[in-house]
Structure 1
Amino acid sequence: MITISVAAQRFGRDMEESFATIGRLIDEARRRDTSLLVLPEACLGGYLPSLGGGDESEETRQRRLRNLPPALDLDGPEIARVAAMAGGMVVTFGFCEADGADRYNAAVTVHGDGVLGSYRKVHQPLGENLCYAAGSEYRAFDTPVGRMGMQICYDKAFPEAARELALDGAEIITSLSAWPTSRTGRAENMADDRWTHRFDIYDRARALENQVVWVASNQAGSFGSLDFVCSAKIVGPGGEVLAGTGVRPGLATATLDVRDAIAAARGGGMYNLRDRRPSVYGTLVDDDSMSRVDRVMSRA
């Protein structure tokens, strides 16, 4: 049995405040006998103050580019500081990674022994590519709590991303987010917001279709022009929400035997990974697939 905790919490530009918040969450998770703690996207230094693109003016673009989170090295002192705080716990969190002149929206999993795995966000929404370079791979890795995979925010909207990790043996997939409310037509109650509904549907679908344990963190509160939906949760391999924060900041915790839960989900006659038929999925990796979609849509 392992205990998993996941956070919906606000993180901004103040690095010392970020470390203090991480420390408090680790302390609370430790009181709950947590083995794996999953924190949000952009913990160290916060997310972007807005998402650009479209009709954004050059003045607005330059202002946004002057207010980016600090770019950190994967082997730098900031990541090592969180690893030391983690001790015997496995902790996953997001940050802005520096690689020469490039910046990446990144996630890392650490333990007292150091970095266990890292990931650079592949799918970029709404002008995020104006600030970050895109990652290029999904890869699972071994940890003291089992084989894990990581993805970030918009990645959850792509079934192929989670499937790639599941096929690489991931038993637990962590999905770190700074997922906001809808930019237009916001609901008065955040629980009714259409982007909250999308967030929740993706989390449950990705867990169920891959029959894995899915752990979804999120930012909370507001940053710049963005208001975040919270909704951190732990989803079992049958798509059931084992624990969640709802649309409030907090820490959700569940205890389960990951391998037994996965075996039970896959042993009932519907083992999705086994029953795939890749020979008929050619358009998934066909570079010309979008041109066919566009042709169909133009005739509609």
Structure 2
Amino acid sequence: MSVPELLAALSWRDLLDFVLLYAASYAALRLLEGTRAVPVLVFVAVLAAAGWAARELDIVGFGLLLEAVLEYIIIILIVVFHPELRRLLVRVGQRLMPAARRESTASAVDALVSACGRLQQAKIGALIILEGELDVLEVSSDAGVEIDAPLQAETLVALMVPHAINTAHDGAVLIRELRIARAGVVLPLSKREGLDHCFGTRHRGALGISEDSDALVIVLSEERGELRVVEGGAMSEALEREQLQARVEAWLERPLGEDEARAEGSGVSAAVSSSMSAVMQSSPGHRRSSKPNREAESGR
């Protein structure tokens, strides 16, 4: 059958079927982009292709093994990708009900800013991660403990209050889909040189996770009580609560699809910044000026 004959044989139902399949496939790929689901789905496709080849070549034993695995693959995928499936359903529901999404977002942001304000008044250090499209736990040093609780100010404050039995205080709190997902998350420290000496491990952890992901990180200094936002390897100046609320709201309203490019760009910029710092420190002028600077610091 020639191409004109094939096109003439197509009905409006065939065209509608094609459009729906294309839209569903495109939406699924966009939602799975940047998650751990992509390599696993590729592996499943390879298994299916190997099973088809085994049947065609009449390789009985290997073919039966692959068929047995593929029979239970749906159950395995549901168990492995439970967080991704939950996130997918929440996102679809939010898009179908934008008014409810705006209301829940505003309530969550108010709770977040309120908790930061209370911690700031008490000068209690805090590290809060708002997860984007990329999975923060894939680049974290320790996943901490699961919380899975609504985003409320009282819960955040309780997780951050230093106490001997509160082991989650030393780590970060992970906010995922406007819920408190985990606490006590240990973050990779940034290797960036030339960072101000007033920034400690908490700030380096915020920089490190922002360099490796598309998350927005809120860091609260314990000594100075300063609120800062870290995104894409860049740290803001000290913010007031109104400024913090504006930054969080703007980040939550960002267009989807920008996160992966931002994460890649932050990794490149962090690498360039680190390389430039190394070059500057190895230059003769920097070596000549470093000795007087050290003497001045020791004098102070």
Same fold? TM cut 0.5:
no
Q: Which has the higher contact order (CA 8 A, sep 6+)?
A: 1
TM-score (norm 2): 0.32
Bigger radius of gyration, 1 or 2? Answer: 2
TM-score (norm 1): 0.32
**Greater percentage in strand:** 1
